[in-house]
């Protein structure tokens, strides 16, 4: 099933992130696309809130990966951004496989180079601007 959401504010984008986490939680892998500044990290913050993370979710652009723990101290979210790596994911591909194997919720920004690492099914979300709102589409890739 495909979903389409619209958000005019940052708070609405976070709320959609919570909804997406609820929808995708059993599969646990989300490929997240959108232009720079589209709201990918804000959406990821909503996913973190759904997973019980109290820390602020920040962009992993410069470190490639950030992991977050819930209030019990259990690591529940692994957030990747492969923008700077392009097609050369190297050892980060191994880390991604490990996170998926360990059943963390995995969010991947700019993940075109890691499609062959992803299990089926996974979810793909795309954020685009449409008039005065963000349009967020979500589809399950079987």
Q: Work out the mean pLDDT of the chain and round it to a whole number.
A: 90
**What whole-number distance in Å separates Cα of residue 142 and Cα of residue 132?**
32
Is pTM beyond 0.75 here?
Answer: yes
Which CATH number characterizes residue 34's domain? 3.40.50.300
**Overall domain count for the chain:** 1
Q: State percent of the chain over pLDDT 90.
A: 65
Poorest-pLDDT segment among 43-47, 66-70, 80-84: 80-84
**What whole-number distance in Å separates Cα of residue 130 and Cα of residue 59?**
23
- The DSSP output letter for 119 is -
Tell me the per-residue pLDDT of 13-38, one tens digit each, with 9 for 90 and over.
999 999 999 999 999 999 999 988 89
Containing domain of residue 76, as a range?
3-141
Q: If phi over 0 gives left and psi between -120 and 50 gives alpha, with beta otherwise, what is residue 113?
A: alpha
């Amino acid at each position: 099933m495909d979903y389409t959401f619209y958000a005019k504010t940052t708070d609405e984008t976070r709320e959609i992130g919570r909804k997406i986490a609820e929808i995708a939680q059993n599969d646990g892998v989300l490929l997240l696309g959108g232009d720079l500044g589209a709201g990918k990290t804000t959406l990821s913050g909503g996913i973190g809130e759904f997973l019980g993370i109290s820390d602020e979710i920040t962009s992993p652009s410069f470190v490639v990966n950030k992991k977050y723990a819930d209030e019990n101290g259990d690591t529940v979210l692994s957030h990747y951004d492969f923008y700077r790596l392009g097609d050369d994911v190297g050892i980060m591909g191994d880390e991604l496989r490990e996170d998926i194997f360990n059943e963390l919720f995995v969010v991947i920004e700019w993940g075109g180079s890691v499609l062959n690492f992803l299990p089926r099914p996974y979810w793909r979300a795309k954020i685009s601007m449409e008039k005065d709102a963000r349009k967020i589409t979500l589809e399950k890739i079987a």
